[in-house]
């Protein structure tokens, strides 16, 4: 095990956590020179893991990269090989993303451990920090691949799935130096994790509107994500009469209107989004013959999500039939609504109240998180951090050092409360 962090090292702080996220926001930690894009198993991802591993080592942790490319640091408890309290989030980024989505939760976990290492304090349990490799699904057509493996939830983990360049997941793992035969070794056995805690920017405007630095998550919304293809008939834009066309893009446009209508007319917790659209052949003088688009449906409960998804898909099928379009709808992600553990939520509320002097704001997360998957392995808790204007997945994403400091103090207090009440 690596020794304790030297006392002469700069102390853990919200400012240092923020600075580290900023450092990781550009090359060589990004695959894009002009912005942040850190896809799973890419060059920027490798450089990022190396840097995070160094910070984990400095914080007094032993460090490893597991069989699917997650970086894991472990700070032993008073008893060797004790179960752990696991703190984490993801290190991958969407294209042209922000610097704090996911990464801030990982760096805060390191800062929490560093603070205890500086004080020479250990617990009856180990503290572990994990940086998950693929929460966003920004490279392969599925999300949360690596947390699924850790939690033993392998549905949707298809080694033959390919990225936009035709590189399969199996090829990417092998190129990264990971052993395909050892993938299951990344799974954590039940009972080895006492609880999973994730800090994350809110990705919404509630905390800013209410003047709060942090909030406590009570549940994470249910999600369905679909890949829809519409196949019509390409043809010359000047010679095919309008009533004879099988225009895939016109059909898709009508379908996208259906998605928006259902989302707008549903309950307040329902949202429906088309986030990606590809048109072929993509020429100005050709009637589009093939279109692919994605649909993301989310709600606070499975029932609301499922009802909306059925209405959307039924509507799209009617559009395709009327326009003589060949339709394929594939469900790519199915995440149930995930309530956070009531006991842990209470501890996090207490930690926030201890630090801020006011009762904690409790809210539901509309965004998905690795915590949804980790709930299959252990009780989970989440802490939200205010972000400017609620902006996320955008270079304009911003947090303040003062708010991050509050989050760090709340997480540190949470660990102490967890020890006293376990």
Residue numbers in the known binding site for allantoate are: 225, 285, 298
Residues in contact with 206: Cβ distance below 8 Å, sequence separation at least 6, in sequence order: 215, 361, 363, 390
CA pair distance 418, 422, nearest whole angstrom: 6
Q: How far apart are CA 129 and CA 21, in angstroms?
A: 16
What length does the chain have? 422
Bridge partner residues of 393 (DSSP): none
* Residue numbers belonging to the annotated binding site for Zn(2+): 90, 101, 136, 200, 393
Angle at 292 between CA 286 and CA 294, to 5 degrees: 145
Two structure tokens written together for 361: 């704001």
Q: Quick check: bond before 28 cis, omega within 30? A: yes
Which of 327, 275, 273 is CA-nearest to residue 305? Answer: 273
Residue ranges of the annotated binding site are 90, 101, 136, 200, 225, 285, 298, 393
Q: Give the chain's end-to-end CA distance (angstroms, integer).
A: 25
Rounded distance between C-alpha atoms, residue 123 and residue 112, angstroms: 13
State the Cα angle at 159 between 158 and 160, rounded to 5°: 90
Sign of the CA dihedral running 286, 287, 290, 293 = positive
Torsion-angle region of 309 (φ positive above 0: left; ψ -120 to 50: alpha; else: beta)? alpha
């Amino acid at each position: 095990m690596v020794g304790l962090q030297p006392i002469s090292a700069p102390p853990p702080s919200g400012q240092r956590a923020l600075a580290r996220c900023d450092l990781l926001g550009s090359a060589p930690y990004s695959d894009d020179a002009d912005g942040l894009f850190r896809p799973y198993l890419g060059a920027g991802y490798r450089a990022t893991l190396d840097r995070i591993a160094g910070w984990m080592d400095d914080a007094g942790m032993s460090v490893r990269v597991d069989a699917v490319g997650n970086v894991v640091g472990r700070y032993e408890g008073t008893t060797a090989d004790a179960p752990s309290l696991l703190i984490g989030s993801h290190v991958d980024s969407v294209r042209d993303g922000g610097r704090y989505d996911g990464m801030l939760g990982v760096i805060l976990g390191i800062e929490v451990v560093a603070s205890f290492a500086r004080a020479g304090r250990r617990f009856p349990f180990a503290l572990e920090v994990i940086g998950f490799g693929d929460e966003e699904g920004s490279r392969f057509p599925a999300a949360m691949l690596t947390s699924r493996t850790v939690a033993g939830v392998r549905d949707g983990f298809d080694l033959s799935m390919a990225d936009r360049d035709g590189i399969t997941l199996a090829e990417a793992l092998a190129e990264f130096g990971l052993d395909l035969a050892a993938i299951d070794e990344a799974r954590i056995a039940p009972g080895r994790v006492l609880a999973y805690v994730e800090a994350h920017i809110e990705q919404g405007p509630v905390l800013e509107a209410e003047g709060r630095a942090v909030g406590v998550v009570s549940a994470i919304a249910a999600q369905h994500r679909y890949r829809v293809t519409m196949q019509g008939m390409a043809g010359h834009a000047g010679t095919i009469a309008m009533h004879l066309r099988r225009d895939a893009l016109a059909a898709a446009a009508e379908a996208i209107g259906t998605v928006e209508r259902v989302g707008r007319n549903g309950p307040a917790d329902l949202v429906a989004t088309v986030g990606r659209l590809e048109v072929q052949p993509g020429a100005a003088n050709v009637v589009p013959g093939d279109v692919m688009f994605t649909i993301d449906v989310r709600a606070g409960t499975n029932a609301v999500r499922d009802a909306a998804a059925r209405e959307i898909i039924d509507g799209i099928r009617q559009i395709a039939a009327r326009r003589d379009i060949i339709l394929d709808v594939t469900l790519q992600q199915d995440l149930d609504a995930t309530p956070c553990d009531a006991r842990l939520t209470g501890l996090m509320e207490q930690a926030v109240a201890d630090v801020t002097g006011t009762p904690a704001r409790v809210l539901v997360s509309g965004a998905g998180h690795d915590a949804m998957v980790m709930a299959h392995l252990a009780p989970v808790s989440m802490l939200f951090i205010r972000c400017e204007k609620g902006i996320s997945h955008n270079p304009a994403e911003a947090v303040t050092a003062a708010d991050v400091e509050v989050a760090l103090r709340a997480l540190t207090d949470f660990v102490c409360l967890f020890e006293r009440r376990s």
